[in-house]
Chains A and B, each alone.
Chain A
Amino acid sequence: MDRLTLVLWIFDSVTGLGLLLLAGWALASPQLFRGIILFVAFSLMMSIAWVRIDAPDVALAEIAIGAGLTGALLLAALSRLGDSEPTQESMNRPIERSYRARTFRSLTASLLAAVAVALVFLILALPGDSEGLGAEVAASLDASGVSSPVTAVLLNFRGYDTLLELLVLLLALLGVWSLGGLPAQPVSPAVLVLDTLARILIPVLLLSSAYLLWAGTHAPGGAFQAGAVLGAAGVLLSLAGWQVRQRYTGVTLRLLLIAGPSLFLAFALYTIVAGQSLLEYPPQRAGVMIVLLEVAATLSIGTTLAALFVAEGPRNKEGQ
C-alpha cells in the first residue's frame, strides 16, 4: 500500500512537471503551429491530471473540448492567418528586442515570480481538509431527479449557471456572425480516406454522444460532453468537405441553436409561475425535466460549437 502511494506520488509529480514544461514550450515555441500542437498535448495531459484529482467529468470535458475542439479552432485560425503573416520572424517577435524591452521582460518575470511564491504560500496555508458542499449535495440528491452529483449541480441546484452558460455560447456565435463571419475556405477536392473516415466515425460519434447524454444522469458524462462530441462530428464533416444544404441553414439552424436556452427559460418561467423559486423543479418531475433539458442543451451546444468552427456569417452561407 505504501509502495503504491509512492508510485502514485511519482506519477503525479511527473504529470505536474510535464504540464508546466508543455505549457512553457507551447507558449515559447518559435513556430505557432508547433505551439498549438504542444498546447493540445498539454490539454491531453491536463485530462490525466483531472482523473488523478477525482474529476472524471472534467476529464471528459477537457478531452472533447479543451484538446479536441480548441485545437481544431486554433489550427483553423492559423491556416486562415497564413498569408497575412509576412515572416516566421514576426510570429516569434516579443514586443521588442531593445534594452528597454529586455528590462521590461525581466521586471515582469520577477514580479510574476513573486506572485507565484505568494500563491504557493496561500495554497499551502489552506486547511488540508474541508467538507465542501459534497455532503449537502448528497443529502438532496434524491430530490434532484438524477443520481450523478455533478449533473445534479449543473442542471438542478445551480441550473442558472448552466442557463447563463448556454447564453454565453450563443452570444459568442452571435459575436462571430455580427463581425460578418469569415470568408468560406476554398473547398479542397474530397480526400477518399478522410471521407471514408467521416462516414464510419459520424455514426459512432452520434452514438457516443447519445451514450454520454444518457450516462450523465448516473455517471460521468452529460450534456456538455455529449454536445462537444456532437460538435466534433460537425467539425469532422466540415473538414471532410461536407456541406449543409441551404434550406437547413435558415430557420432549422436557428431553432437548433436556441433549443437549449429557450427550453431552459421556459422551465424557469414555469417554476416561477408555479410558485417556486427559479429553476426549482417539482421533485417528482425533476428527472424528466432534466433529461429534456439535457437533450435540448446537447443539440444547441453541438450546433453552436460546429457553427463556431465553420465561423461563416449566416448570410454568405451559400456554400455551407
Chain B
Amino acid sequence: MILSDYVAAVLLLVGVFFFLAGTVGLVRFPDVYTRLHALTKSDNVGLGFVVMGLAVEAESWFVVGKLLLIWMLVLLAGASVAHLIARGATQRGVRMWTD
C-alpha cells in the first residue's frame, strides 16, 4: 500500500462513521423531525468523506468531477426531500417532540 491508499482508507472510514451515526440517529431519535436532522446532516458529511476517499484513488480528473457531481446532486435532493417530508409532517399535525 502506498500513502494515497492509507489516505483513502482513512477518509472512507470517517465517512462510514458519519453514516453509522446518522443511522443510529434514524433508529433512536424520537420523532420525524429529529430523525430527519440526524439523517440528512450526517449522511451528507459522510457521503462527502466517501467521495473524497474515492477521489484520492480516482484514475482521472474526469472521474473526480463525476464523483463531485454525484455528491452535489445528493445534497440537493436530500435537502429538498427532507424539507418536503418535514413540511408534510407539519401539515398533518405531527407534533414536535418535547421532553
Contact = CB atoms under 8 A, between A and B. Distances in A.
Interface size class of A (residues with CB under 8 A): under 10
Q: Report the 8 A-B pairs with minimum CB-CB distance, sorted nearest first.
A: A197-B80, A193-B83, A193-B80, A194-B84, A200-B76, A193-B84, A204-B73, A191-B84
A191 B84 CA distance: 9
B83 A201 contact: no
B96 to A, nearest CB: 20
Contacts of A197: 76-77, 80
A196 B81 CA distance: 12
16 contacts: A191-B84, A191-B87, A193-B80, A193-B83, A193-B84, A193-B87, A194-B80, A194-B84, A196-B80, A197-B76, A197-B77, A197-B80, A200-B76, A201-B76, A201-B77, A204-B73
Contacts of B84: 191, 193-194
Given A201-B76, A201-B77, 7 more contacts: A191-B87, A193-B80, A193-B83, A194-B80, A194-B84, A200-B76, A204-B73
Interface of B: 73, 76-77, 80, 83-84, 87
Contacts of A193: 80, 83-84, 87
Contacts of B80: 193-194, 196-197
A196 B80 CA distance: 9
Interface in A111-153: none
Contacts of B87: 191, 193
B13 to A, nearest CB: 15
Find the residue from B77, B80, B83 having the highest chain A CB count within 10 A: B80
Nearest to A196: B80
A88 to B, nearest CB: 16
A204 B77 CA distance: 12
A201 B80 CA distance: 11
Contacts of B77: 197, 201
A63 to B, nearest CB: 13
Contacts of A201: 76-77
Interface in A161-216: 191, 193-194, 196-197, 200-201, 204
A191 B80 CA distance: 11
A201 B77 CA distance: 9
Nearest to B82: A193
Contacts of A191: 84, 87
Nearest to B83: A193
A200 B80 CA distance: 11
Contacts of B83: 193
Nearest to A198: B80
A194 B83 CA distance: 9
Nearest to B80: A197
A193 B87 CA distance: 10
Contacts of B76: 197, 200-201
A200 B79 CA distance: 13
A201 B75 CA distance: 12
Contacts of B73: 204
A205 to B, nearest CB: 10
A204 B87 CA distance: 25
A287 B77 CA distance: 36
Contacts of A200: 76
B4 to A, nearest CB: 19
A270 to B, nearest CB: 39
B8 to A, nearest CB: 16
A204 B73 CA distance: 9
